[in-house]
Amino acid sequence: MDVRPRLIEMSARPRLTLFDLDNTLLSGDSDVLWCNFLVQRGVLDSTSFSARNADMDERYRAGTVSTQVFSEFYVSMLRGRAPEDWESLRQDFLVNEIIHRVPFVAQALVQHHINAGDLVVMTTATNRFITELTARHLKIENLIATEPELIDGKFTGRTQDTLNMRDGKVVRLHAWLAARGETLTDYASTAYSDSINDLPLLQAVDTPIVVDPDRRLSAWASEHGHLSLSLR
């Protein structure tokens, strides 16, 4: 079903379109895929790590893990190395683990909004270093993501600034717009997400659209009459 004609709001305001990444545009979770990739490449030990990775993913989906614990668990994988030390693995990860997991219909939807002149933003709880190549692949110029800390040119394994997760996505969005001299009310805003973790963001915009939603988000969308679609 082609839903795209339904998604253009006739408004005098410019349009702002926000896309979550993991399990929305991407069939999978970048953090989980990255860690599994590092296990496969021998960078992480599968015996000690795989179960922890699966547990963190389950707790995230359930909305029971704190934003700090979740974010620093995954950012800690980068600890002790400079960005350039990771670059060949990061490029390999994009090509072999990410690109084929972005459905064609998801790419087409993003391109539709870009072609329509929307201000398109990817907003993700996953850290910037892992997701910026994905945004670039999708031709999304604006990325709001969790920021990994760098000291003396190396990742510390910690995060910095407000985490881009749950309420933090709204805080970071307002800050990003303020840096442009704008506010959310300047735009006719739309957000796409699959997860109950993004409920604050979906409630903050004019048009929330749930994408292959989890059970609780699906129930919320049904209760409030919001559009639900599948990009799988």
Cβ proximity of 122 and 144 under 8 Å: yes
Q: At what angle do helices 67-75 and 30-40 cross, to 10 degrees?
A: 30
Query: Active site includes 22?
Result: yes
Which of the residues 22, 194, 198, 212 is marked catalytic?
A: 22
Which of the residues 2, 20, 57, 152 is marked catalytic?
A: 20
Query: How far apart are alpha carbons 166 and 111 in whole angstroms?
Result: 26
**H/E run at residue 189:** strand 188-193
The token duo for 189 is 């805003």
The token duo for 225 is 């009459």
Cβ proximity of 29 and 23 under 8 Å: yes
N- to C-terminal Cα separation, the chain: 12
The DSSP annotation for 32-73 comes to: HHHHHHHHHTTSS-HHHHHHHHHHHHHHHHHT-S-HHHHHHH
The DSSP annotation for 110-163 comes to: HHHHHHTT-EEEEEEEEEHHHHHHHHHHTT--EEEEEEEEEETTEEEEEEESS-
Residues with a known catalytic role: 20, 22
